[in-house]
Chain A
Amino acid sequence: MFKRITAAEAAAMIKDRSRVAIGGFLAVGAPESLIDAVVAAKTKDLHIIVIASDWEDRGIGKLVANRQVRSAQVSHLGTNREIQAQMNAGEIDIELVPQGTLMERVRAFGAGLGGVLTPTGLGTVVQEGKQIITLDGKDYLLEPAIPSDFALVKAHKADESGNLVYSKTARNSNPIMAKAGRITIVEVDEIVPTGELDPEHIVTPGVFVDYIVVKEV
């Protein structure tokens, strides 16, 4: 069962060099209170796993601007000049991963799988250094699971059992990240009594949730 904590308490658990999977897509559905707390904690040399590098002043862009990110697995950098500048200067290591592949690699870790087979990236630079496996005459890339120490997630509501529902397109990568953290910390807009969320409508079961922070910004 989850424990309720503050964003600062959550940030204090995350040590330098941690691997952190963070939900959100172009900062929509990003756990901004948790990110702000990690910025305030000045945690260093983080490895982040995120769909896109967001904007300089929103989402994970704030961690990049504060020079807390040493490396990232990410599918898109186009909206954030700062991360591109740090990459070009050799200050941040970037592995560009196709978005669907990134989601499956993270999902695989949360589901106890070693990796996935995908045709995406065949015949491109994504293939370099990877094993090709042929099944039924079709080629696939073997893409290994992506582990993370912490998942930072934004959901709309939690109930007192830790079950989560999301809001519109702010759902995006959040349910995937939530299942994949060795420790999953969820920022929510509100916590409602158990029983208020329809079991048919719950997206993430509370079993995946370790800590909940109620949004502070």
Chain B
Amino acid sequence: MDKRSRIGARIAAEFKDGDYVNLGIGLPTEAVNHIPEGVRVTLQSENGILGTGPQPAEGEEHPDMINAGGGFITANPGAVFFDSALSFAIIRGGHVDVTVLGALQVDQHGNLANWMIPGKMVPGMGGAMDLVTGAKKVIVAMEHVDKRGNPKILKECNLPLTAKGKVSLIITDLCVLEVTPAGLVLKELSDGVTVQQVIDATEAELIIPDELK
């Protein structure tokens, strides 16, 4: 499996049967290809659908059927369309079990920054602030370091925050980290990755359990 598929499979392993899930654009959507047999997951897209189905075949696209990333979708049997206020009632009201988002930075307090780089890139927060505030479980899925090789997992985020203290799990190409009141705990290493490699690629303090030492 390539890097993206491995991350996708690891995200999908977090889903429980019956979960309502919202996936951010990019890497998080990889998870849909790896949902384990017997686990039924209902996907929400914040523009106003619960029960998002697979991408339509070429030529079968409906102009009124998109997900929040603008990609064409289908609707599974049992799907529902609703307006954006209701969509965010689902999100903010704590009815989404898991949301998975990318990050520019995440820190050891569970703070997330993923919506702007002052002076460079201001795409806006879209629905991310509501999702991270309201979902029962917030997972960050991303490459462990940025394109220049700089750490993205920090002691303190220095970019504008999306939400404070809401991230509970970080899944990267190198490892899985859990955010706990004591700090970031290294839960798993990807195949062939050493503890030292993770430490070198991470600015935040890490708690390394004995079994991984």
| A positions within 8 Å CB-CB of B | 25-26, 28-29, 51-52, 74-79, 84, 87, 96, 98-101, 103-104, 107, 118-126, 166-176, 203
Contacts and interface: CB of A to CB of B under 8 A. Distances in A.
B20 to A, nearest CB: 16
Interface residues of B, number: 41
Interface string B32-71: 0000000000000111110000000000001111111010
B125 A123 contact: no
B164 A123 contact: yes
Contacts of B162: 124
Interface string B64-80: 11111010010100000
Contact of B84 (A25, A79, A122, A168): A25
B102 interface: no
A103 B48 contact: no
B157 to A, nearest CB: 11
Contacts of A172: 47-48, 83-84
24 contacts: A25-B47, A28-B66, A52-B126, A74-B124, A77-B122, A96-B125, A98-B130, A100-B46, A100-B85, A100-B127, A100-B134, A103-B83, A103-B85, A107-B85, A119-B133, A123-B165, A124-B160, A125-B161, A167-B64, A169-B45, A169-B49, A169-B64, A176-B84, A176-B85
B123 interface: yes
A8 B46 CA distance: 33
A202 B58 CA distance: 32
B127 A75 contact: yes
Contacts of A173: 83-84
Contacts of A119: 92, 133-134
B129 interface: yes
A103 B70 contact: no
A16 B83 CA distance: 29
Contacts of B91: 100
Q: Which of A26, A101, A120, A167 is the most central at the interface, judged by chain B CB atoms within 10 Å of its CB?
A: A120
Given A28-B64, A124-B129, A171-B83, A87 B122 contact: yes
A101 B130 contact: yes
Contacts of A101: 129-130
